[in-house]
Structure 1
Amino acid sequence: MESRRRLIFVCEGSDCKKEDSKGLRKSLEKELSSGEFKGQCKLIRTKCMDFCKSAPVVIIGDHVSKKTNLKKVIEQLKKS
């Protein structure tokens, strides 16, 4: 049986940091380590992704989530 992990990219550029991307990443780590997504996702920290006006930015698969929060990211994970 093949397992497929979803990749979640969290921008940690300066503008995203100002909008608390670090807090968002920590919340995501906590959420993904338990619950329905346990072992299904890989969280990757990135440098600036040039969406600075839309901070914080998270990319899930091919979906760019701008001005996002934990709730929006979890909703997108359930869709994909």
Structure 2
Amino acid sequence: MQGSYLFKCENHHISQGVGDFLTLPQFLARCYEAFAGHDRAELANPRVEGWLADEASSRILIKLARENLAAGLTPAL
């Protein structure tokens, strides 16, 4: 089965169409916009905290983040 990185928006009204979709960069930008309204201390996730606490996982995440930055792949804000 073929997939894509499209994200369906919520429809708050009845519509005869399929609704609106976001690309991955648009979805991530909206996530950052939503997160910006909260204190960093409020944004916690046990799974992510576990990754960051694990030295090997943390090294991989930092390596990938650096590669993305070097390639110019930053969040679209």
**Structure 1 length as normaliser, TM-score?**
0.26
More helix by share: 2
Work out which of the two has the higher radius of gyration on C-alpha atoms and give 1 or 2. 2
Q: Which has the higher contact order (CA 8 A, sep 6+)?
A: 1
More strand by share: 1
